[in-house]
Amino acid sequence: MRIFDPHIHMTSRTTDDYEAMYAAGVRAVVEPAFWLGQPRTGVSSYLDYFDAITGWERFRASQFGIRHHAAIALNPKEANDPRCREVMPELDRYLGRESVVAVGETGYDSMTPEEDEVLEAHLDLAIRHALPVVVHTPHRDKKHGTQRTLDVIANSGIAPEMVVLDHLNEVTVDLVAERGCWMGFSIYPDTKMDPGRMVAILQRLGTERMLVNSAADWGRSDPLLTAKTGRAMLEAGFADAEVDTVLWGNPVAFYGQSGRLDVSPLPGFELGGEAELFEGNSILRGAAAVPAEAPAGAGAN
């Protein structure tokens, strides 16, 4: 089983997670920009974060055979903070980086006028940069928030196939399916979706334009829930090819619209099957060796 996790926050995860993900079949990820768990106090902290997810995190993932890409945006939760809003003029230069395959995650948190403005600005950036968009649907009043999001998308002029609305559920998925956007589902403990419910949606609506992610972050989450969903699909009678469409083909097709996606095997790793996880990159179990191509400062305490 090969897996592309299209929405995961690896900056909050450990190297043990990367190793477990590779063993489970994960070969590529996209990391959308998100809230850090506490308020940022200015633009500089945002810029340091953007540099990390487009640079260091990409290298860190590569040590474990995983291709890492990023999406760049002002997170919806911070769109209401004037200290963070000042990052908007900086986004253009980050959206030009080779590892950036989308704008995101943008969307709504509390559905304020400030969030309206920021969502519209992000959609305009996506059009100008010819990039797909990852849209966060709100945790509260989700149906109304999803409908409002779809209306803003329609008014922006962006092609619906360039947009994925994420964190969908049984209440919101049909709204998105009707509009022609991609449908994203976060398989997440206690909230959002679980593998069984995801399988039921796939049985009803099919696999077209469906993206399944773990959305793993600082909270209680599981970066292996994509693999667990794939196994649940197989147990429910889905064919191997259908699982591959959902867990690999669909995210490749969506993010491939950026023209920057690279899911080729990293040197020393194989796309499918087992690989020598550490020897291929000069990192051995229990050793402190760091690959020669590591960024300056890598391996420092």
Residue 167 belongs to what H/E stretch? none
Report pLDDT for 300: 36
Provide the 8-state DSSP code for 187. Answer: B
What is the predicted pLDDT for the residue at 245? 98
| Model pTM score | 0.89
* Residue 289 confidence (pLDDT): 29
Q: Kindly report, residue by residue over 99-128, the tens digit of the pLDDT.
A: 999 999 999 999 999 999 999 999 999 999
Write down the pLDDT at residue 278. Answer: 37
Average pLDDT estimate for 7-31: 96
Are residues 185 and 193 in contact, defined by beta-carbon separation less than 8 angstroms?
yes
Q: How many whole angstroms from its chain centre is CA 37?
A: 17
What is the pLDDT averaged over residues 83-110?
A: 96
- CA–CA dist 25, 273 (Å, integer): 8
Give the pLDDT of residue 111.
Answer: 94
The reply to whether omega before 120 is within 30° of 0 (cis) is: no
CA distance 10 to 197: 25
- pLDDT tens digits, one per residue of 61-73: 999 999 999 999 9
Give pLDDT tens digits for 259-285. Answer: 999 999 999 996 544 444 433 333 322
Asked whether 61 and 10 are in contact (CB, 8 A), the reply is yes
Domain coordinates in residue numbering, the chain: 3-257
**155: CB partners within 8 A, 6+ apart:** none
Using an 8 Å Cβ cutoff, are 54 and 93 in contact?
A: no
Looking at domain 3-257, its CATH superfamily turns out to be Metal-dependent hydrolases (3.20.20.140)
Instruction: Output the pLDDT for position 248.
Output: 98
Note whether 71 and 102 are within 8 A (CB): yes
Determine contact, residues 192/169, Cβ cutoff 8 Å.
Answer: yes
Report pLDDT digits (tens) over 177-229: 999 999 999 998 776 789 999 999 999 999 999 999 998 888 778 999 999 99
pLDDT at 249 over 50: yes
- Residue 80: which residues within 8 A CB-CB, separation 6 or more? 109, 110, 112, 114, 115
